Structure 1
Amino acid sequence: MTSERPLLLVGGGKMGGAMVQGWLARGTSPGRIHVVDPSADNRRPLADQGVNAVPAIDDLGEGLDPEVVILAVKPQVMGEVAPSYARFVAPGTVFLSIAAGKTIGFFEEILGAQAAIVRSIPNTPSAVGRGMTVACANANVTAEQKDSCDALLRGVGETGWVEDESLIDVVTAVAGSGPAYVFYLIECLAQAGIDQGLPEELARTCAGQMVAGAGELYRQSGETAEQLRKNVTSPKGTTEAALNVLMAADGLRPLIGRTVEAAARRSRELAG
């Protein structure tokens, strides 16, 4: 980002704090970042790095003209928090939400139909800079504002954009909730190893490191998941025997399909 206009982050918790660390790592001046968070525990580490972290909006002082207002509070309190920031609605300011389940329409009702709004859905690996965030913009967002939001979101991982907001529900089901599926896979693999006689600690280490390593191999190799699967599968070997179970007609693919369908349906329900 080349602009020097302020960035205003509302909510400096785990996700908001991770975003700030990503911005700082990419060279953003800490003096450009302003954070509003009532928690002293959240503010302290940010202030120690030169960020202007204050407990309430009125502590920001007069005349702040943010380029981006990032709304990073929990979805259940967004309706109470967001109205106070309508004062920053202006043609040169874009609002970027990372709150799950809160639609562009929700923010337009609070901030006004003229507000430039980007809705995004990050996932928990964003906390370690390996996130996947997909975003959708309303018609008021300019190309430059979209680029600014994309640059901010890339501070915690990869990004993607959709024009159809309804696809955010599918993104939520695949990438947003997806880490929980992987964590459960680790649980199941570890337990299977324990059931086959491995010591508990070794089984958990094997399962966790295998998933972490496989993910990093996928990220670095540039090959498709299908090709990587084929690379590790020897004819009539142990991997093939296992895949015959996972790839059966009633195996993993239909199960994952039902999983994503259930999560997308619930996401639509929560968005109202």
Structure 2
Amino acid sequence: MASSKKKTMSRNRFFRLGLVLSTLAVFIASVILFFWFTTRALFSKNRHFVLKNVSVVSVGWWDKQSRRVANILKLKPGQTNLFEVDLKSLRSVLEKEPSIERVTAARQLPDSIKINIIERIPRAFLGSRNIDLVSDATGIVMDKNTCVPLNPKIPVIKNFRVRRGHKLQPGLEIASLKPALELIMITRTDYPEFKIDEISMGGHEEMYLRIFYGTGSPREYNVVMPQSDLKNNLRILKTAILKSTRDKDTRTNMNLCYKGQVLITQ
């Protein structure tokens, strides 16, 4: 009889424990459902938070392109709820546009989304100044008609290689442009007295430049240089130009591909 009583007490103990756990599970589920319905009522299904305005701010072409941006993001003013918009996804979609470098986005209660766009800056024409393709400093191809207003005198890069199976079009990143673009940026930051007009990529790790030196009446030079150690190449070129100017040397063809010396020809 004592054994039977112990078994009964044990069953009652497990029953009470199961009842407590079941009650706790129901309580937790109820709390979750309460917060879910409350969140929907207060935010995602609240008519007061329906999107009315998409504000786009940039310093270039994308400034005030609200309708275009809303179409790209599939935002529907008057229908889309502000709290159903995934801001991280929104930024990711816009940053796939070739001329856009970085995006920030924020909700502005009760009915707006503000988008700030940092655009890529065109640094060179690709192939010719007569076509619409340009590149930023990282080698991203863009359409000049949908990027920041560009200086028509930026350099032209020619004879670059595009990876097999890829078409030259906006959005493509071209690795073979990197040496030329690096050289262009160095002249902007360290050697502003040089103005590059054209760069032609050679097939043996060299570059052919048409470049101007000087500020008052710049003189044109045709230069061949390696695609590496570019800052040092410009230092050597500047030294050679200054020496030829002092010597009244009228020759303007310079080859820097010979280690330790500059070959100057007519």
TM range (shorter): under 0.3
Query: 1 or 2 for the larger relative contact order (CA 8 Å, sep ≥6)?
Result: 1
Bigger proportion of residues as helix: 1
Bigger proportion of residues as strand: 2
The two structures have a TM-score, normalised by structure 2, of: 0.26
The two structures have a TM-score, normalised by structure 1, of: 0.26
